[in-house]
Amino acid sequence: MAKISVIGSGFTGTTTAFMLAMKGLGDIVLLDTQANENPTKGKALDIMEAGPLTRSSVRVTGTSDYQDTLDSDVVVITAGIARKPGMSRNELCDINAGIVTHVVRQVVQHSPNSTLIILSNPVDIMTYVAFKESGFKRNRIIGQSGVLDSARFRYFVASELKVSAEDVTGFVLGVHGDDMVPLVRYCSVHGIPIQQLLPEAEIEKIMERTRQAGSEIVNLLGNGSAYYAPAAALTEMIESILLDKHRVMPCIVHLEGELGYQDLVLNVPAVIGRQGVEKILPIDLLPEEEDLIERSVASIRRGIDAVLEGKTNKRCSLIS
C-alpha cells in the first residue's frame, strides 16, 4: 500500500489526512511538532475511528518523529503559520521559508524517492525554496495552488450561471495571489465559452473575486484561512499521482524554458501521474495574457530575490 506523509496537523493537514483516508489512497502519517504530538495523535485516532463508518481500512499515524515518515511515496507540506487579516502572502515568507527548509531536509533524509507537494504560503516562493533545497528533479516538486484557484474560479462561474460546477471547465495560471491569471478564453460550460453566457462586466467581477478568494475567507473567518478546498485540491493531486491518472492540472512547477522563462516557478498546465509532473502542456497566450503572466512572474521573482538575498532572516524551525 502507498504511504503518504502530511507535515503539519493544522486544519488543512488534518482535513487532507481525513480525505485521503476516506478515499483509501494509502497509509497516512500525520506529523507535527513535539509540542503538538498528543493532539496530532488524537486527530489520527479520530480519523481511524471513523474508518468503520467511511469504509476505510488505511492506517493513520500521528507523530512528531520523522522516522515514522520513512519511505513515503508522497509528502505534503502544509506546515507554516496561516495568514491573518491584512497580512499578505509575501509577509509570511520570513517564517515559512525556515519551516519549509527544515522539513525538506528531513524529507530528503527519510524519503529521498518521494514526490513532494508544497502548500505552505507564499506557495510559489516556498515551492522554489523546496526545489533548491531538496536537489530533487523538478518533476518531484509540485506547488499546489492552481487546482484550488481554478476550482474557485469554476465555482464562481457556476454560481453566477446557476449551473453545476461539474460542467464548468477553466483554469488559472500565474502566481497564487493578487496577480493570478484566470484564463477566460479557456473557460466554458459544457463546451460553451462563458463569453457567450455572461457579459464582460460579470466576467471581470468573477475574475476579481477569484483573485481575492483567499482573502475573502480569511476576513470572514477572522482567525485562520481556508482549509476544506485546499485539502480537496491536495487530495485530487495525490490521487492522480498514486493512481497514475495523468490528470491535467494547473500546478506550480520549476520552469526550464517553458513560456520563455528559466529558473522560475509558475502555475502552468501539467500532466500529473506516478512520476509527479509527467509533462508541461504548451499553451498559446494572447499578448494581453502574456502581459498578465509577466506581472505574475515579476511578483514571484521579487519574492525569490528576497530569499536569495537573505532578506528573510527571521526564519525559525517550528517543525522539529
Does 121 show up as a binding residue in the annotation? yes
Does 219 show up as a binding residue in the annotation? no
176 annotated active-site? yes
Does 59 show up as a binding residue in the annotation? no
- Which residue among 102, 176, 246, 254 is the active-site one? 176
**Which strands form 168-169's sheet, in the order they lie side by side?**
168-169, 188-189, 192-193
CA neighbor of 319 nearest in space, from 2, 4, 10, 3: 10
CA angle 73, 74, 80 (to 5 degrees): 145
Please confirm whether the linkage preceding 199 is cis (ω < 30° from 0).
Answer: no
CA neighbor of 104 nearest in space, from 186, 5, 209: 5
Does 10 show up as a binding residue in the annotation? yes
Does 247 show up as a binding residue in the annotation? no
Does 302 show up as a binding residue in the annotation? no
Q: Are 96 and 26 in contact (CB under 8 A)?
A: no
Q: How far is CA 9 from the centre of its chain?
A: 16
**Which strands form 262-273's sheet, in the order they lie side by side?**
60-63, 27-31, 3-7, 74-77, 115-118, 141-143, 247-256, 262-273, 276-280
Does 89 show up as a binding residue in the annotation? yes
Does 11 show up as a binding residue in the annotation? yes
Does 260 show up as a binding residue in the annotation? no
Does 16 show up as a binding residue in the annotation? no
Please enumerate, by residue number, every residue annotated as part of a binding site for substrate.
83, 89, 121, 152
Just list the catalytic residues.
176
Annotated binding-site residues read 8-13, 32, 83, 89, 96, 119-121, 152
Binding residues for NAD(+): 8-13, 32, 96, 119-121
